[in-house]
Structure 1
Amino acid sequence: MGAIAKLFGMVFLIFVLWLGYVGYSISQGISGLHAQWGPVSEERTSIEITGSFKRPLYAPISLKDAEVIFMNESVAKLSRMEYSPTSTDFKSEIVIFNREVVDAILKYLENNESGEIVVKIVPALFGALSTEIETSIPFREKILESIHLTAESHEVAGIPGVKTPELRDTLVRYDGREGDKAVFTTVLVLYNPNSYPLPLVKTSYRVWINGIEAAYGESERNVVIPAGGTVELPVKTYVNLSSLPKVWALHVKNGEESTVRAKLYFRIQINLPLTGKITKEVELTTIEKTVKTNIMDQINSKLSGLNT
């Protein structure tokens, strides 16, 4: 029994020393962390991450699971982790579920733009010894409050002296979901630069991203803008949820670049001395912009802070 106890003690000591070596190796840091876009489709977006430890771990350590949950929706998972105990290099792939991200964002808006991001990680040793590590991060970004659009007034073609309203601001609130549409109310703050009242029979707009119609809106009532005055006109806005994953996939494939085009129309009524009351549909503005993001650059900037 004494010999067995000594043998057991030696094995246990070697195991403890080995765990100490693994902890030391990890504590020495990770270098060369780099992320890039992987395959992207309407359903999924993958991010590939590579890096290396300063020295081999000589440990069969793995991640059994890693998951990101936003508004109780599983929006991302670790799909692949390639690592050899005798090598310093590792590769991993994170998959983002595009439609679940859309659903989570709508839940976030419903919750008055307040939510929580939960990260769950299940590391494993020898493929069996594992424990779940969970952390939560409050998220309070006010997205809708940051949306403010403007457009200048201009003369109506064919009718000298008549000007379109000036769009001075927009206020946006989320109203809920109707089938495959997310519904918003967009309040247009309009100013009438004319010296007479300007009746608006109908107001509408369309938004395209990379040639795909992403949203449209129509006013819910008629208004008369006083001469030199302003009104707030609510416009019901519908966002095509089914088009958003395709829009996102094209955005990533185009190098995080998209072309956004929006057209805003008014139908106005005017009393002219010779012809009397006429109704004319006019275009207030066409906005066409190239929107470029730097999501991957920001991810790599964060990862560079982990390199030691």
Structure 2
Amino acid sequence: MQSIDKLLIILLMVTIALEASTIIYSASLMGVCGKLKIISKVENPDISMFRIDCLNVTEDYTAIMLTAEMYNPNPYAITVHHVKISVYVNEIQLIRSINESTFRIEPLSRFRYVKIEYVRNDYFVDAILSHLSNGEESIVEALLDTSFSIHPNELRRFPFKAILSFKTDILGIVLSKINEGLPEDILIETPSHLYKLRIIYVHLLWGEVSESYVEVIGFARVKNIGDETVSFKEVVYEAILNNETIYREEKRLTQSIPPGSICIIPLKFDIPAHVIKRAWCLHVKNNEESTLVLRAYLVFQGKEILLFERDAYIETDIFKIHYLK
């Protein structure tokens, strides 16, 4: 009888042990499932603010500050493993910023990422040439690419994009101002004669755009309303940006206009890349706003006779990507 009681006690203990093991095993499974469930609900960080600011510009470099504010919407911390920011103008890469360091964003918290880059101004010259060859239109794209994790070896990619476009009409504005006041008479006085010319029409447009220069071509239709033949041997072009003369070129011209005749005077000048680079520096220092003045002179008997002088207001938006959610 005692042996039977002992056997029953042993069986009871084994049963209790098995049930306890089952409970522990079930609890372990629930814990694993619980973890998997949490991971499946991980949300991407949210970019609540992104901006590009120009800090300084020299003759060769432009200092850029890239700022991104990231928000962690999860109830647990995440680790950001790298940040790559690229900025393109008409698919030409201006900025390539890579940071391989890691940083932690606490639960339901914000983190402000700041990186300063120094960009060669030659890249901006390429962007300006692209803008002109594209009909004075540009699309600016800012791409942010990063990876984050909750646990090691569980990287999740998180991309972000901000886009804006802008358009200018530099030559169009200059031309409209030149031609809206025509006809305009030019009087040339010498000790023995008085010469009279009338500008009937002026036309300018962008010509060839290469890596080293941009060409401006056009013509001026001029009538001799005086009694003497007028002959020109040179034409002079000037460009003034924000009160600084950035370009001046004298070009040979063989042109004679008999009395009562209308003559087509060809206009053509090339703006080299180093002039565009200087223009970029002046333009950015003035918050991407500029006043451009174009002038042309006809040289008659050693004197510069003003053919036209008009200005244009220019505004661009390369550094005006300010995304705020």
Q: TM-score under structure 2 normalisation?
A: 0.63
Contact kept, 8 Å, 2:168 with 2:315, in 1: the verdict is no
Contact kept, 8 Å, 1:216 with 1:238, in 2: the verdict is no
SS of residue paired to 2:185 = coil
The amino acid of 2:225's aligned partner reads: N
Structure 2, unaligned stretches of length 5 or more?
1-24
Counterpart position of 1:92: 114
Counterpart position of 1:146: 172
Q: Which has the larger radius of gyration?
A: 2
Distance 1:91 1:288 in 2: 45
Distance 2:158 2:73 in 1: 26
Structure 1 residues 164 and 10: CA distance shift in structure 2, 3 A: same
Counterpart position of 2:34: 10
Contact kept, 8 Å, 1:216 with 1:239, in 2: the verdict is no
Counterpart position of 1:101: 124
Question: How many residues are matched?
Answer: 284
Q: Which moved more, 1:247-256 or 1:131-140?
A: 131-140
Q: 2:213 aligns with which of 182, 196, 218?
A: 182
Q: 1:237 aligns with which of 265, 269, 276?
A: 269
Counterpart position of 2:234: 202
Distance 2:165 2:52 in 1: 24
The amino acid of 1:85's aligned partner reads: I
Distance apart, 1:131 and its partner CA = 4.4
Percentage of identical aligned residues: 16
Counterpart position of 2:283: 251
The amino acid of 1:11's aligned partner reads: K
Contact kept, 8 Å, 1:45 with 1:98, in 2: the verdict is no
Structure 1 residues 130 and 225: CA distance shift in structure 2, 3 A: farther
CA deviation profile, 1:151-200 (whole Å, cap 9, x unmatched): 7433224466423552732322322448xx41414213232252355333
Cα-Cα RMSD? 4.6
Distance apart, 1:284 and its partner CA = 0.5
Q: 1:173 aligns with which of 203, 206, 218?
A: 206
SS of residue paired to 1:100 = helix
CA deviation profile, 1:266-300 (whole Å, cap 9, x unmatched): 123xxxxxxxxxx3432306848695747489545
Q: Which moved more, 1:134-143 or 1:122-131?
A: 134-143
Structure 1 residues 187 and 12: CA distance shift in structure 2, 3 A: same
Structure 1 residues 172 and 217: CA distance shift in structure 2, 3 A: farther
Distance apart, 1:30 and its partner CA = 2.9
Q: Does 1:38 align with 2:55?
A: yes
Distance 1:67 1:190 in 2: 47
Structure 1 residues 89 and 230: CA distance shift in structure 2, 3 A: farther
Q: TM-score under structure 1 normalisation?
A: 0.66
